[in-house]
Structure 1
Amino acid sequence: MKKLVVITGGTKGIGKALVLKFASRDFDVVTCARNKDDLEKLKSEVRELFPDVKINICQADLSTKEGRESLVFYVRSMKRTVDVLINNTGVFIQGQIFNEPEGVLESQIQTNLYSAYDITRGVIQGMIDVKSGYIFNICSIASIVPYASGGSYSISKFAMLGMTKVLREEMKPFNIKVTAVIPGATLTASWEGVDLPPERFIKPEDVADSIMGIYDLSDYTVVEELVLRPQLGDI
């Protein structure tokens, strides 16, 4: 049986690059997004490129408890162990702590932290049972460097990195690897409208290639934190 990867937020940016990368390596894929049309388009693209790969799509809004429960139910209903979980779903809302609108922190925490927390809790028992698996959490440079134009975003991403570090310690006895992926500015929808050339950004495909390279390491080695930045530095 093929290995199974679950990638949240798989229709755009880093998520889509990851779906295509793992499909190219003959993984069956589960992914989710809020937009059904985007999911169907991705499904058609994967089927055309990789006819032997099973691409499973689940429409779910991971900023809500109901959406997170829906994805967990979908994955569990497959009756398969998840070999790789990539918590990629995230949203960036610009603003500063002292003047951002009410509710921004709650929104960022729900999407950027609780999505990873709840999905991980929902699927990890299968990994524990077989003492095998890999979890990648897509954090951000804002997880390690305070970002003054994204107050609540930075808070949520610092928390995401903290969760990843704790999970790494918890999973050691079960032979489950955990990696925090910490990319800088990546050419995704979050940067639409910014007047900067593409070469100032990380390519989503480079993030996906790096994750696959880490996954391919021997059982004896884990990369705990992967930091990627644009060649010319942070924006």
Structure 2
Amino acid sequence: MASFQIGFIISVAVTLTSCAPAEKGNAKDDARLLGFLATISGYSAIDLEDNGRIIRESMASIPVDVPAFYPDFAYFYEEVVDGALKLRQVIVPFIGEDGFIHASQYNFTGWQDAEIGEFDVSVLQKLSRDDFYTSRECDLVLTEIKKGIYMGNLPECESIIEYIPNFGTVWTCTSTGFINYRNPELNPQEDVPIIMYKDFRYPLPDSMLEVVPDFEDPCA
């Protein structure tokens, strides 16, 4: 059983729109998606002050096999805030018709059954497509700025009917930076960017690497 914990994520200034996946089976697209998964993979934690109290936030992004979404790639995401489980999802990235990387956030059946940091990701291999649900309005969209650096926009959705404000996010091999867009215009007094540095990264599953045999890890 794998054990891990998690926290927050973010992205910047790419307009979020629903977009259909491009046709699968494109080797170049598969390599782009693996590059994204390799970059965001990892565990991070940070202590933040909130009204004089220290709050611990953590997040884990783990590339995993989820047969219900084959041939698409996927990763498991768990976020913990102040000792409470905030999010536990499967996220499926794809290349949209607009050429950007998009990712759909899926809630799934039985996600509440494990303690924080103790979810057995192999359980995901037993779920059917009907066990997952999402809203396309919750899709994230991002672009690769340069090798190992991604920037985008993330609507953090706790469910398909309850939304929290958009986050601007930057992912790198070693950190994740984010800012909460609470208002149409940023409040420099409150909307301060947060950077979470990774304690470690998770490897890509062999099944993903077999799809792109000559894949070069941008974080190696």
User: Would you say same fold, with TM above 0.5?
Assistant: no
Counting helix residues as a fraction of each chain, which structure ranks higher? 1
TM-score range for the pair, normalised by the shorter chain length: under 0.3
Quick one: higher RCO (CA 8 Å, sep 6+), 1 or 2?
A: 2
TM-score, normalised with respect to structure 1: 0.26
